[in-house]
Amino acid sequence: MNKPHCCFGAVLLALCCVAVTPVQAADTVDRQYALTDHGSLQLQVPSLWKEELEQDRDRLFQTIIFTPTSGAPFGVVLNPLWPTEKDAPKPDREALQGLMQRAAEQVSSLVAEKTIEIVEFEGTAGVGYYFSVTDPAPKPGDYKHMTQGILPVGVLLLPFTIYTNDGQQDIVTDALTMLKSASHSVGKVN
């Protein structure tokens, strides 16, 4: 899998419009990310993670990229999406699960898994879905494992991609725990 800016991460976004020191749940910090004209996203982020924020030119979405402050590399990429139309209906569970199934089908010829399981998980703001896959022959500097999913958070949809290598399952667990904590606030951010 490529670095966090790779085409795999774009698959889900397009459809929508070396062990590291484990971080325990108590070792998180509350962080708030302003979303251009769309309130803010709140997360309980592992304290040993740093973030980089990117804004696309058309201001249609923002990207939050988490990486380690030290140690073996990994990437957790969030692309909060907001409705482009006022009073647009929120996708239901079936729609989100179908979206993930289509994303899994798009990467199926590129991964080691013969069958890609779509996993349901519940956050404080709703039920989301994800799948995990393995690159059978990662290029030097690329990641071997990718977990990709989507979670509704208030009026937002939160597509995410987690990039790791062997021995980094704790990163996936910590990222999913962080996502489960996600909440959205409307209005201006202080």
Count the Cβ atoms, other than its own, within 10 Å of residue 123. 19
CA-CA distance, 113 to 133, in Å (whole number)?
Answer: 6
Asked if the model's pLDDT at residue 6 lies above 80, the reply is no
pLDDT of residue 39: 85
Is 170 domain-assigned?
yes
Is 189 domain-assigned?
no
Is 190 domain-assigned?
no
**pLDDT bucket at 3, cuts 50 / 70 / 90:** low
Asked if the model's pLDDT at residue 17 lies above 50, the reply is no
Q: Which of these, 44, 182, 71, lies nearest to 126 by C-alpha position? A: 182
CA-CA distance, 7 to 135, in Å (whole number)?
Answer: 13
Is 66 domain-assigned?
yes
pLDDT of residue 23: 38
Count the Cβ atoms, other than its own, within 10 Å of residue 28. 19
CA-CA distance, 59 to 85, in Å (whole number)?
Answer: 15
List, for residues 23-65, the tens digit of each pLDDT value.
344 499 999 998 877 789 999 999 999 999 987 766 566 899 9
The strand pairing partners of 183, in sequence order, are 42
pLDDT of residue 87: 75
Range of the domain at 172: 7-15+25-184
The CATH number for 144's domain is: 2.60.120.1690
List, for residues 93-120, the tens digit of each pLDDT value.
999 999 999 999 999 999 999 999 999 9
Type of residue found at 61: F
Is 20 domain-assigned?
no
Return the residue matching tokens 């798009």: 106
CA-CA distance, 147 to 36, in Å (whole number)?
Answer: 26
Q: Which of these, 124, 122, 128, 120, lies nearest to 182 by C-alpha position? A: 124
**Domains in the chain: how many in total?**
1
Is 71 domain-assigned?
yes
Asked if the model's pLDDT at residue 12 lies above 60, the reply is no
Is 65 domain-assigned?
yes
pLDDT of residue 29: 95
Is 101 domain-assigned?
yes
pLDDT of residue 10: 44
pLDDT of residue 36: 74
Query: Can you give the pTM of this predicted structure?
Result: 0.84
Q: Which of these, 60, 43, 67, lies nearest to 124 by C-alpha position? A: 43
DSSP E strand stretches across the chain: 28-34, 40-46, 49-55, 62-68, 75-78, 119-123, 126-134, 145-153, 156-164, 183-185
Alpha-carbon separation of residue 9 from 13, 79, 100 (angstroms):
7, 9, 13
Residues of the chain with pLDDT > 90, as a percent, come to: 66
